[in-house]
Amino acid sequence: MYLFGDLSAHISSIVHNNPNEAAQHDLLDAFFRPYYSLLPNYSPDDPECHPKAYLATAWRYDELAGNGSYCNLQVGIDDADKHIETIQRGMPERGIWFAGEHASPFEELGTAAGAYMSGERVAGRILEKYGLGEKVEL
């Protein structure tokens, strides 16, 4: 699920304020049960219909992650692709590269997969700059 705003803050606080994984699971399950219980063929008595685990982070509380920030392009912005390309390029001449959902390939913008892909790409560019790897295309 993609969560944002107040809802994202609520889920992050559950994780942050409850370091015990079992307590996190119970609280997250109580929150999400009203939603997953509406899925077709759901049965409250069938253990296969209950999540075995939840993965949620408290990145909102991590100042090195911008306290939960992420990029957002306003509706109607002109030349947004140029903004993204600038972030993707970074400033390698100054030793500055960007990776994350905001620097991912266009088809993966805003996704965890895109963040991973951009990290791989930046790592390759750093290796290339210092003569430790092959040329990497943007």
Q: Note the pLDDT tens digit of each residue in 59-85.
A: 888 887 777 766 667 778 888 889 889
Do residues 102 and 109 make contact, with C-beta atoms less than 8 angstroms apart? Answer: yes
Q: Say if pTM beats, i.e. exceeds, 0.75.
A: no
Closest CA to 132 of 91, 118, 98, 124: 124
pLDDT exceeds 60 at position 138:
no
Neighbours of 125 (CB within 10 A): 21
Write the pLDDT tens digit of every residue in 18-60: 989 999 999 999 999 999 999 999 999 999 999 999 988 888 8
pLDDT at res. 18: 93
Looking up tokens 């075995």, which residue turns up? 52
Dmax (CA) of the chain:
60
Spatial contact of 92 and 125, defined as CB atoms under 8 Å apart: yes
Residue type, 129: K
